[in-house]
C-alpha cells in the first residue's frame, strides 16, 4: 500500500529548478497528499518558485522573517509538521531541505512511527541525512533527468562509472552482503538493498552512475550474481555472493 506523504519544502533553502524531478521522485515512494512550501513570498529571491507552485499543486505558506539572522521559515515548517503528525492524515513525511535544523524534526517523526524521506543538495550535513529513513540528493535527480542518451550509450556510461566506487564503498557493500548471507555466502539482493539503506540513508546506486542496484553490484569484480526462479517459477530472484567467500568455503 502506498504511503500518504506530507511534502514540506524549505523554499529559502531549495532551488526552484529541481521541482519537476523532485516531485517525480517523491511519487515513487507514496502519494503526496499534502504539499506545502515555506518562505517569505515578498522576497524577490523566491520569484522563480511562483509559477511552479500552480503547476505542481504546491501550497505556499507565507512566513515573514521576524528577526534578522533568524530563520522563521524553519520554525513554521516544524510547527506544521507536528500539527500534520497529530492529525493522523499521513503515514510518511518528505522533508525537502539541505538544512541541519530539521535533524531533530526528522528524528521525532520517526519516533512517532512515520516514514521520513529527506531530499536536499550534496551540501546537506550528515546529521540530517542519517536522521531520515532515506535521503536523496537533488543533483542526482537533475543529472538523471538530463540524461537523454540511448540505452546503449547509458550502458557504456555505467561501465565508466566503476571508478566512483571507493575501497570504503566496497567494504560497506561487502559487509552488508555478509550480514544477510546464508551458509553458502549467498544473499538475496532485495535484503541487501534494504539493509544498505538502513545503514546509510543516502546510499543510492545513482550516486555511482547506475540506475539500479543490480548493475552496480554486477560491475564490481569482487561479487557474483545468480538469478533464480521463485517457488512459482514466475519471477527471477537475484542473489549475490562475495567471490572470495566462495573460494574460502571450497577449501
The pLDDT score that the predictor gives to residue 75 is 86
Query: In the predicted model, is pLDDT for residue 197 greater than 60?
Result: yes
Percent pLDDT > 90 in the chain is 60
Query: DSSP 3-state helix, strand, coil percentages of the chain (rounded to 5)?
Result: 50, 20, 30
Hey, what domains does the chain have and what are their CATH numbers? 3-145 (3.40.50.1010), 150-250 (3.30.420.610)
User: And the C-alpha cell for 93?
Assistant: 513525511
| Cα 170 from Cα 240, distance rounded (Å) | 14
> 92-96 and 115-120 as β-strands: parallel, antiparallel, unpaired?
parallel
Mean pLDDT of 155-174: 76
pTM summary value: 0.83
Mean pLDDT of the chain: 86
Mean pLDDT of 36-64: 87
Structure confidence by residue, pLDDT tens digits, 130-161: 999 999 999 998 776 565 444 444 555 555 56
User: And the C-alpha cell for 86?
Assistant: 497529530
| Cα 250 from Cα 199, distance rounded (Å) | 30
CB atoms closer than 10 angstroms to residue 34: 18
| Cα 149 from Cα 158, distance rounded (Å) | 12
The pLDDT score that the predictor gives to residue 250 is 47
The distance of Cα 51 from the centroid of its chain, to the nearest Å, equals 26
| Cα 122 from Cα 87, distance rounded (Å) | 32
> Which has the higher per-residue pLDDT, 190 or 71?
190
Mean pLDDT of 21-40: 93
| Cα 96 from Cα 102, distance rounded (Å) | 10
Structure confidence by residue, pLDDT tens digits, 61-107: 988 765 444 466 788 899 999 999 999 999 999 999 999 999 999 99
Amino acid at each position: 500500500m502506498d504511503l500518504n506523504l506530507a511534502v514540506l519544502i524549505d523554499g529559502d533553502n531549495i532551488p526552484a529548478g529541481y521541482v519537476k524531478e523532485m516531485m517525480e521522485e517523491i511519487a515513487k515512494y507514496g502519494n503526496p497528499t499534502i504539499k506545502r512550501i515555506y518562505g517569505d513570498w515578498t522576497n524577490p529571491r523566491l520569484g522563480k518558485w511562483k509559477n511552479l507552485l500552480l503547476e505542481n499543486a504546491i501550497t505556499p505558506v507565507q512566513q515573514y522573517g521576524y528577526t534578522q539572522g533568524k530563520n522563521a521559515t524553519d520554525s513554521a515548517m516544524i510547527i506544521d509538521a507536528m500539527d500534520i503528525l497529530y492529525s493522523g492524515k499521513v503515514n510518511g513525511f518528505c522533508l525537502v531541505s539541505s538544512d541541519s535544523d530539521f535533524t531533530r524534526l526528522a528524528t521525532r517523526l520517526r519516533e512517532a512511527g512515520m516514514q521520513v524521506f529527506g531530499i536536499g543538495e550534496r551540501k546537506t550535513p550528515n546529521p540530517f541525512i542519517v536522521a531520515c529513513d532515506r535521503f536523496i540528493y537533488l543533483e542526482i535527480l537533475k543529472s538523471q533527468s538530463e540524461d537523454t542518451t540511448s540505452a546503449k550509450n547509458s550502458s557504456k556510461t555505467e561501465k565508466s562509472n566503476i571508478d566512483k566506487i571507493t575501497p570504503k564503498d566496497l567494504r560497506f557493500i561487502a559487509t552488508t552482503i555478509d550480514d544477510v548471507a546464508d551458509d553458502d555466502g549467498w544473499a538475496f539482493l532485495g535484503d541487501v538493498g534494504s539493509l544498505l539503506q538502513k545503514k546509510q540513508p543516502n546510499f543510492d546506486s545513482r550516486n555511482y552512475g547506475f540506475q539500479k542496484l543490480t548493475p552496480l553490484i554486477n560491475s564490481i569484480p569482487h561479487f557474483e550474481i545468480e538469478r533464480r526462479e521463485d517457488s512459482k517459477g514466475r519471477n527471477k530472484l537475484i542473489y549475490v555472493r562475495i567471490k572470495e567467500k566462495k573460494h574460502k568455503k571450497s577449501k
